[in-house]
Structure 1
Amino acid sequence: MCLIGFLWQPEAEQPLVVAANRDEFYARPTAPAGWWDDANTLGGRDLQAGGTWMGVSRQGRFAALTNYRDPRRIKPQAPSRGALVAAFLQGEASTADYIAALRGKIADYNDFNLLLYDGQRLLGYESHTDRTLRFGRGVHGVSNAGFDSAWPKLEALKAGLALRADDDAALFALLADPRLAEDARLPQTGVSLEWERALSAAFIRTPEYGTRASSLLRLGLDRVILTERRFERGEPAGESRYEFALSLNQS
């Protein structure tokens, strides 16, 4: 994912609501959201490296990942970060234990932000700062910098999520916003000004790279709803909706 907004309300009937966009090169092969071979994990698949950017399990485990944008720090031979999401979803470790085990391996990977929920505790992890975040009740988010960074598109998504968290249509409209940020508000992440402008939109569309999927997750105490809208070169290419009861065999 490259843009994630989430409402965290741990005492509510629906503790976690997530609205997110995945941005990727159009040429990278991708499978749409669906149940994996283990019949326990729901999410899209990166068919090039085998991992995923966002998913949820029948036990209510959730994970999502964004890249941290800094071209000066890229390791061309680093393993896929999507495997980190898949490993959490298919495992049984708590969020805290998973992050603790991951710390010894982060030097192998390109920088990332990881959002994890084990059914009880929600944590974020920033590999570039080696920082674990505990979120207070309310709206938070992350794009390709640290959690809750003041990027225009992230601030707009968070503001909309705070007002319209119960309205699927409104949340998808926020994710589909193609407006670019003003140059004065653009971050400086080490890419060209042209790229900073293009990447400042919530919904990105360039000749070779852009938003491939918009996802809305509603993770309740006993039910989960995941809706995914897919795009090819900026045009609608399908929608899937999954609703299921959480397994009583919580890990």
Structure 2
Amino acid sequence: MCLILTAWHAHPDYALVVAANRDEFYERPADALGWWDDAPDILAGRDRAAVNGASGTWLGLAQGGRFAALTNYRAPSEKRTDARSRGELVRGFLAGSEQPDAFLHGLRPRQGVYNGFNLLASDLQSLWWYSNRAATGLPQRLQAGVYGLSNALLDTPWPKVRSRVAAFAEALAADTGRRGASPSPYLALLADTRQPTDDVLPETGVSLEWERVLSSAFIRSPRYGTRASTVLRVRHDGSFDMLERSFDASGCIGERHESGVLRHSSETA
């Protein structure tokens, strides 16, 4: 993922709301949102490009009430070709049973086998963030509120993070919380292709041309761009709806929607 907007206990009806864009090369094979045949409790897209023998996903939900999502930390000079797939971290949490803090603390001894990452993990009782590039080196429990995450640390004020957090907060405030309420306002804010001026672009070690391309919430270029836009809403009673739009270089190529009730309620959170 390259942009994850998260509302944790910031709406009277929802425990968790997520609006996210996954950016990737168009040629990289991936399955769209769905329940996995070999892990029927997991609802997620699936990266089909194995990296050093491992693969996984970028964002998902498990029937037992577990949520996880991942972004890469952009630091091209630090990238290792022998690193393991970061997507296996999301898959590992969704398929497991550890509490989020225990899972994230357990990553610390082996964090070096992965290139830079940010990982959000929740069991709907708590929401945690961890990055193997954070100065503290420790997972952080997040309080109720709205958060923005791109390819730097949590709430790093890149232009697209600032603008989309503001738009996300507005969409959240306008969401009636009624069952069947349209996710269109969230999808619209994820579709923003505007690029900021050069003077406010971050300097992450890529060329200025690439900084421009990567600066919009929704990315378009001939070979690389936003591949999926996802909206997830989980209510306090455990009911959820999740919608994903898939894209290639030509535009939208499909839409998937899933809804149901998780076995684990967040009412006691």
* Fold shared, TM-score > 0.5 on shorter chain: yes
Residue equivalent to 1:63 = 68
Q: Secondary structure at the match of 1:136?
A: coil
Corresponding residue of 1:154: 161
Structure 1 window deviating more from structure 2 (124-133 vs 176-185): it is 124-133
- Partner amino acid, structure 2, of 1:246: L
Letter in 2 for 1:95: P
Q: C-alpha offsets along residues 4-38 of structure 1, whole Å, 9 cap, x if unaligned?
A: 00111178431110000000001100000000122
Q: Give the structure 1 partner of residue 27 of structure 2.
A: 27
Q: Tell me the equivalent position of 1:183.
A: 198
What is the aligned-residue identity percentage?
46
The Cα of 1:128 is off from its aligned counterpart by 0.8
1:223 matched to which residue of 2? 239
1:134 is displaced (CA, Å) by: 2.3
Counterpart contact for 1:5–1:139, Cα < 8 Å: yes
Matched, 1:89 2:105: no
SS at match of 1:240: strand
Correspondence for 1:103: 108
Provide the aligned length of Structure 1 versus Structure 2. 250
More off after superposition, 24-33 vs 168-177: 168-177
Is the aligned partner of 1:243 residue 2:259? Answer: yes
Given the superposition, is the C-alpha separation of residues 114 and 192 from structure 1 closer, same or farther in structure 2, using an over 3 Å criterion? same
Deviation string for 1:81-128 (max 9, x for gaps)? 000000000000001100111101101100000001012010000111
Contact 1:55–1:64 under 8 Å retained in 2: yes
Going from structure 1 to structure 2, the CA distance change for 1:115 and 1:249 (only over 3 Å counts) comes to closer
1:143 is aligned with what amino acid?
S
- Deviation of residue 248 (structure 1)? 5.3
- What residue identity is the alignment partner of 1:29? P
Does residue 50 of structure 2 align to residue 36 of structure 1?
no
Deviation for aligned residue 1:136? 2.4
Residues 249, 190 of structure 1: CA spacing in aligned structure 2 closer, same or farther, 3 A cutoff? closer
The CA distance in 2 between the partners of 1:132 and 1:151, in whole Å, is 22
Cα drift, residue 133 of structure 1 = 2.1
Mapped to 2, the partners of 1:118 and 1:81 lie a distance apart of 20
Secondary structure at the aligned position of 1:131 is classed as coil
Q: What value does the CA root-mean-square deviation take over the aligned residues?
A: 1.5
- Residue 2 in 1 paired to residue 2 in 2? yes
Partner of 1:168: 183
Residue-by-residue CA offset, 1:129-156 (whole Å, 9 max, x unaligned): 2232222222101000000010111111
Moved over 6 A (4+): none
Instruction: With the length of structure 2 as denominator, give the TM-score of the two structures.
Output: 0.90
Gaps of 5+ in 1: none
* Other structure's SS at 1:15 match: strand
Tell me, in whole angstroms, the C-alpha distance in 1 between the residues paired with 2:10 and 2:126.
Answer: 8
Structure 2: gaps spanning 5 or more residues:
176-181
| Alignment partners' CA distance in 1, 2:141 and 2:101 | 10
Measure the CA separation in 2 of the matches of 1:2 and 1:126.
14
